[in-house]
Amino acid sequence: MIEIVVALSIWLSASHGLAEIQSMPRVRFLDQRQVAALRYGRADVADVDEVVAVYDPVTRTIVLPDTWDGGDPADLSVLVHEIVHHLQREAGTLHRCPEEAEARAYAAQERWLSQFGLSLEKSFGIDAFSLKLRTNCLW
Protein backbone atom coordinates (compact mmCIF):
# COMPACT_ATOMS: atom_id res chain seq x y z
CA MET A 1 0.00 0.00 0.00
CA ILE A 2 2.86 2.38 0.78
CA GLU A 3 4.15 2.09 -2.78
CA ILE A 4 0.73 2.92 -4.21
CA VAL A 5 0.33 5.96 -1.94
CA VAL A 6 3.82 7.22 -2.85
CA ALA A 7 3.24 6.73 -6.59
CA LEU A 8 -0.14 8.50 -6.51
CA SER A 9 1.32 11.31 -4.38
CA ILE A 10 4.09 11.86 -6.93
CA TRP A 11 1.48 11.97 -9.70
CA LEU A 12 -0.58 14.50 -7.71
CA SER A 13 2.46 16.72 -7.13
CA ALA A 14 3.42 16.62 -10.80
CA SER A 15 -0.06 17.01 -12.28
CA HIS A 16 -1.80 19.25 -9.74
CA GLY A 17 0.96 21.30 -8.17
CA LEU A 18 0.38 19.86 -4.73
CA ALA A 19 3.34 19.76 -2.36
CA GLU A 20 5.27 16.52 -2.21
CA ILE A 21 4.22 14.16 0.54
CA GLN A 22 6.18 14.68 3.76
CA SER A 23 4.69 11.96 5.92
CA MET A 24 2.70 8.93 4.95
CA PRO A 25 -0.95 8.80 5.94
CA ARG A 26 -2.14 5.79 7.85
CA VAL A 27 -4.49 3.60 5.83
CA ARG A 28 -7.21 1.54 7.52
CA PHE A 29 -9.81 -0.79 6.10
CA LEU A 30 -13.21 -0.99 7.79
CA ASP A 31 -16.64 -2.38 7.08
CA GLN A 32 -18.66 -0.07 4.80
CA ARG A 33 -21.06 0.84 7.65
CA GLN A 34 -18.13 1.87 9.85
CA VAL A 35 -16.71 4.06 7.07
CA ALA A 36 -20.10 5.79 6.70
CA ALA A 37 -20.39 6.19 10.47
CA LEU A 38 -16.98 7.89 10.56
CA ARG A 39 -18.02 10.24 7.78
CA TYR A 40 -21.30 11.27 9.36
CA GLY A 41 -20.49 10.77 13.04
CA ARG A 42 -23.32 8.31 13.57
CA ALA A 43 -24.07 4.69 12.83
CA ASP A 44 -27.60 5.06 11.40
CA VAL A 45 -26.61 6.31 7.94
CA ALA A 46 -29.26 5.55 5.32
CA ASP A 47 -27.12 5.59 2.17
CA VAL A 48 -24.12 3.63 3.41
CA ASP A 49 -22.89 2.88 -0.11
CA GLU A 50 -22.57 6.57 -0.99
CA VAL A 51 -19.56 6.93 1.32
CA VAL A 52 -16.63 5.40 -0.52
CA ALA A 53 -13.82 6.57 1.80
CA VAL A 54 -12.96 9.06 4.53
CA TYR A 55 -9.88 11.05 5.49
CA ASP A 56 -9.48 11.83 9.18
CA PRO A 57 -7.24 14.92 9.42
CA VAL A 58 -6.74 14.54 13.17
CA THR A 59 -5.20 11.09 12.94
CA ARG A 60 -4.02 11.59 9.34
CA THR A 61 -5.73 8.39 8.36
CA ILE A 62 -7.34 7.34 5.10
CA VAL A 63 -10.19 4.94 5.82
CA LEU A 64 -11.28 2.68 2.97
CA PRO A 65 -13.99 0.03 2.92
CA ASP A 66 -12.70 -3.49 3.42
CA THR A 67 -13.97 -4.31 -0.08
CA TRP A 68 -11.48 -1.86 -1.65
CA ASP A 69 -8.73 -3.62 -3.56
CA GLY A 70 -7.30 -0.95 -5.89
CA GLY A 71 -7.82 -3.30 -8.79
CA ASP A 72 -9.24 -0.77 -11.23
CA PRO A 73 -8.90 2.95 -12.04
CA ALA A 74 -12.12 3.87 -10.21
CA ASP A 75 -10.93 2.17 -7.02
CA LEU A 76 -7.57 3.93 -7.26
CA SER A 77 -9.33 7.25 -7.88
CA VAL A 78 -10.88 6.98 -4.43
CA LEU A 79 -7.39 6.77 -2.96
CA VAL A 80 -6.28 9.72 -5.14
CA HIS A 81 -9.16 11.76 -3.69
CA GLU A 82 -8.22 10.95 -0.10
CA ILE A 83 -4.49 11.54 -0.67
CA VAL A 84 -5.38 15.06 -1.84
CA HIS A 85 -6.99 15.66 1.54
CA HIS A 86 -3.87 14.35 3.27
CA LEU A 87 -1.65 16.67 1.21
CA GLN A 88 -3.99 19.59 1.98
CA ARG A 89 -3.69 18.77 5.68
CA GLU A 90 0.10 18.56 5.49
CA ALA A 91 0.26 21.93 3.71
CA GLY A 92 -2.06 23.54 6.26
CA THR A 93 -4.50 24.54 3.54
CA LEU A 94 -7.47 26.41 4.97
CA HIS A 95 -10.95 26.33 3.48
CA ARG A 96 -14.04 28.45 4.10
CA CYS A 97 -16.18 25.33 4.36
CA PRO A 98 -15.74 21.54 4.10
CA GLU A 99 -17.13 21.53 0.55
CA GLU A 100 -14.38 23.85 -0.64
CA ALA A 101 -11.78 21.27 0.41
CA GLU A 102 -13.52 18.76 -1.85
CA ALA A 103 -13.05 20.82 -5.02
CA ARG A 104 -9.37 19.99 -5.50
CA ALA A 105 -9.87 16.37 -4.47
CA TYR A 106 -12.68 15.84 -6.98
CA ALA A 107 -10.68 17.64 -9.70
CA ALA A 108 -7.74 15.29 -9.16
CA GLN A 109 -10.04 12.29 -9.07
CA GLU A 110 -11.71 13.36 -12.33
CA ARG A 111 -8.35 13.88 -14.00
CA TRP A 112 -7.17 10.45 -12.86
CA LEU A 113 -10.33 8.81 -14.19
CA SER A 114 -10.12 10.67 -17.52
CA GLN A 115 -6.79 8.98 -18.27
CA PHE A 116 -8.75 5.72 -18.48
CA GLY A 117 -11.76 7.02 -20.42
CA LEU A 118 -13.78 7.26 -17.21
CA SER A 119 -15.36 10.10 -15.24
CA LEU A 120 -16.92 10.80 -11.88
CA GLU A 121 -20.31 10.46 -13.52
CA LYS A 122 -19.55 7.13 -15.23
CA SER A 123 -17.82 5.61 -12.22
CA PHE A 124 -19.73 7.10 -9.29
CA GLY A 125 -22.88 8.71 -10.69
CA ILE A 126 -21.67 12.21 -9.75
CA ASP A 127 -23.03 14.59 -12.41
CA ALA A 128 -22.04 18.24 -12.89
CA PHE A 129 -24.84 19.58 -10.68
CA SER A 130 -24.05 17.16 -7.86
CA LEU A 131 -20.38 18.07 -8.14
CA LYS A 132 -21.22 21.78 -7.77
CA LEU A 133 -23.16 21.02 -4.59
CA ARG A 134 -20.31 18.92 -3.19
CA THR A 135 -17.58 21.48 -3.92
CA ASN A 136 -19.06 24.92 -3.20
CA CYS A 137 -19.86 26.67 0.05
CA LEU A 138 -23.61 27.12 0.10
CA TRP A 139 -23.77 29.70 2.87
Residue boundaries of the structural domains of the chain = 2-135
| Contact (CB, 8 A) for 52 and 124 | yes
pTM of the model: 0.88
3-class DSSP state of 95: coil
Contacts of 107 (CB under 8 A, 6+ apart): 16
The beta strands (E) that lie in the chain are given as 26-30, 54-56, 61-65
Highest-confidence segment of 13-27, 45-59, 110-124: 110-124
Per-residue pLDDT at 48 exceeds 60 = no
- Dist. CA 77–CA 5, nearest whole Å: 11
**Tell me, what's the pLDDT at 43?**
57
| pLDDT value at residue 123 | 92
Quote the CA–CA distance of 40 and 50 in Å, as a whole number.
11
Whether residue 17 has pLDDT greater than 70: yes
Averaged confidence pLDDT in the chain: 88
CATH of region 2-135: 3.40.390
The more confidently predicted of residues 49 and 14 is 14
Q: What mean pLDDT comes out for the span 84-101?
A: 87
Q: At what angle do helices 98-114 and 128-135 cross, to 10 degrees?
A: 140
Compute the distance between CA of residue 118 and CA of residue 6 in angstroms, rounded to an integer: 23
Give the model's pLDDT for residue 137.
85
- 106 CB neighbour count, 10 Å cutoff: 18
> Average pLDDT for residues 43-58, to the nearest whole number?
72
The predicted pLDDT at position 32 comes to: 85
The span from the CA of 139 to the CA of 127, in Å, is 21
pLDDT value at residue 93: 80
pLDDT in tens, 62-89: 999 999 999 999 999 999 999 999 999 9
